[in-house]
Amino acid sequence: MKTIAVLAAALALGTVPAYAAEQPSLEEIAVQAQTYLERAQGELARSQADLDNASATAAAVERQAADSAAASAAAERAAADAHAEAARWRTSLGGSGRMVFEALPYGKAGLAGTADSLPQLLSAVSMLDRLTEGTRRSTAAATERAEQASRTAERARQDAGTLARQRDQALARRSEAQRRRDTAAELVTGGEQYLQEVLRRLVLSVQQELQQQGGGARPDGTAVPGAAGTAVRFALAQLGKPYVWGAEGPAAYDCSGLVLAAYHAAGLALPRTSAEQSQVGTAVPRDQVRAGDLVFYYQPVSHVAIALDGQHAVHAPTVGRPVQVAAIDAIGPLTVIRRIG
């Protein structure tokens, strides 16, 4: 994805043949790159939120599935124990008569058939009936418990199976959310690289154009001393960044926010609004403008630019137009020029 972004930048910024259709300016490309980056950042934020939700859901379902599997295993063990108990009672029921018979005085040798033996036989039969009935009830109860345990185990198996499927689905959704988040992160990285390359070329283009128009003078601020030079260099480094009312950087600026940030970088504190800034420093005539001077427009003052030389200035124009260089006299009706420091 990064390779695609770099390739897109190379194609967009490559040399345009003379016969090609009208191409967008670097300023327009910068606006498009900034818009693309903001959209990618928005998608990254959304995909990260989706990933967080999917991860939380998957973790919860995994815990439920593990608990359900443990409950199913416990139910299986309980059912096995209940069936074993029922089997023991059934075995006990079959042995009850033999136990009573062998308890008689002549049980092992056989009853003599005398009158004396009859009461013992009747007593044994009565005992056998009582013992058999108790054993039968216990056997029936154990069998019912075993069947109930089997039904419970079956429900537990079904619940565990359902939760296992839900777990697999949640993990799949988490994997998909992770993939989308990673893709969005790559788009943001590529967008940042693309925008930085656009801005770098935009700065170089402006500097070259100004140098050609100025007969070889350096418009990048390197030859301008003191705070003015620092402010010019800072402002030029912001070329292509979007205009946002009230913004003071570093991602976006309005006109006075750019001036404020530029001179702050030079160690000087200026007022926030263009009207207030127009009261700072020393007034200079139009024919004496030099790099670093602040050029104010409209009456009352509502816009400001930073002069690069006697003919050009850098400024944050308005919504939809990024920080750019323009002819001083083309920006608007000039009100006053102030020199700072």
Residues with active-site annotation: 255, 303, 315
Q: How far is CA 150 from CA 90, 106, 137, in A?
A: 18, 45, 20
The sign of the torsion formed by the CA atoms of 140, 144, 145, 149 equals positive
Q: How many of the other CB atoms lie within 10 Å of CB of 297?
A: 20
Strand order in the sheet with 334-339: 282-283, 334-339, 294-297, 303-307, 312-315, 324-327
Close Cβ partners of 238 (under 8 Å, ≥ 6 residues apart): 249, 253, 258, 261, 262, 314, 323
> From the DSSP assignment, how many helices (H) and strands (E) are in the chain?
6, 6
DSSP 76-137: HHHHHHHHHHHHHHHHHHHHHHHHHHHHSTTTTT-----TTHHHHHHHHHHHHHHHHHHHHH
Q: 2 is written with which tokens?
A: 């990064």
- Please say whether the beta carbons of 160 and 69 come within 8 A: yes
Distance, CA of 155 to CA of 219 (rounded, Å) = 81
End-to-end CA distance of the chain: 48
Report helix, strand or coil for 336: strand
DSSP 183-226: HHHHHHHHHHHHHHHHHHHHHHHHHHHHHHHTTT---SSTTS-H
Distance, CA of 258 to CA of 295 (rounded, Å) = 13
- Please say whether the beta carbons of 61 and 167 come within 8 A: yes
